[in-house]
């Protein structure tokens, strides 16, 4: 069984490889340090599972997930990230990921998640799953607005909130600046904000801007 691990930190990659190879027999773990590299690798070496961080240099884990599933719709993807904002967990699962766990999880949780996904099941770390079920939307009414965003619109929203110019967003997402401008208009309309300052404020209120570097 081939597993692709996508993380820009070598220590994290080596630690995960050690844990997985010690617990699961007959697996082969390859790794990539960026989303772009991972997308290139799956063209030649199709994995049975991808384990990926949300925050990556270049394109984010969310965009990498989208591109991978365009090519391999049935590919199971497990997000393994230090960023556990519920908004990000929802976006990841809506994008097509099959699982989400935090990097503070015990090694056995990583192994369990991998085994569950390889068996064809979904897996969300228990603490995150409980929060998703029990969260009272009225505590953060603005979070309901995010449900109206597509995965690509959410990606643009985070990048705009971080202050990236349209030209850089276009380059990262491999789209035209005109398309970025259209997304900007759609995002502001759906989130009911008049300008970029409003997007920044909303991202901070929801904990997205401080809890993720997904546009970096």
Residue range 126-176, pLDDT digits in tens = 777 777 666 555 445 556 667 777 777 887 887 888 788 888 888 878 889
| Domain 2-134 in CATH 3.40.50.800 | no
Model-wide pTM > 0.75: no
Is residue 47 a contact partner of residue 2, using CB atoms and an 8 Å limit? yes
Q: What is the pLDDT of residue 150?
A: 77
Q: Per the structure block, which two tokens stand in for 103? A: 């990097």
Matching CATH number, 139-211, of 1.10.10.10, 3.10.450.50, 3.40.1190.10, 3.90.950.10? 1.10.10.10
Which regions of the chain are under pLDDT 50? 138-139, 210-216
Record the tokens describing residue 79, joined without a space: 């997000």
- Residue 71: per-residue pLDDT: 93
In the chain, residues under CATH classification 3.40.50.2300 are 2-134
Residue-wise DSSP of 68-137: HHHH-TT--EEEEES---HHHHHHHHHHT-SEEEETTS-HHHHHHHHHHHHTT--EE-HHHHHHHHH--G
Domain with CATH 1.10.10.10 in the chain: 139-211
pLDDT attached to residue 99: 93
Closest by Cα among 186, 183, 188, 190 to 145: 190
- Residue 106: which of 80, 132, 135 has the closest Cα? 80
């Amino acid at each position: 069984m081939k597993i692709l691990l996508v993380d820009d930190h070598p220590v994290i990659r080596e630690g995960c490889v050690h844990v997985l190879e010690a617990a699961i027999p007959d697996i082969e773990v390859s790794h990539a340090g960026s989303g772009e590299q991972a997308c290139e690798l799956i063209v030649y070496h199709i994995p049975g599972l991808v384990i990926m961080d949300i925050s990556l240099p270049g394109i984010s884990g969310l965009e990498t997930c989208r591109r991978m599933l365009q090519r391999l719709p049935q590919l199971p993807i497990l997000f393994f990230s230090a960023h556990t904002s519920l908004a990000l967990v929802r976006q990841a699962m809506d994008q097509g990921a099959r699982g989400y766990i935090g990097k503070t999880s015990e090694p056995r949780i990583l192994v369990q998640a991998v085994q569950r996904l390889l068996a064809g099941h979904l897996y969300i770390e228990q603490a995150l799953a409980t929060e998703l079920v029990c969260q009272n939307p009225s505590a953060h009414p603005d979070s309901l607005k995010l449900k109206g965003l597509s995965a690509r619109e959410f990606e643009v929203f985070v990048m705009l909130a971080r202050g990236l110019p349209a030209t850089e967003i276009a380059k990262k997402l491999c789209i035209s600046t005109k398309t970025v401008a259209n997304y900007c208009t759609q995002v502001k309309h759906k989130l009911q904000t008049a300008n970029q300052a409003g997007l920044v404020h909303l991202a901070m209120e929801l904990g997205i801007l401080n809890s993720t570097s997904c546009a970096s």
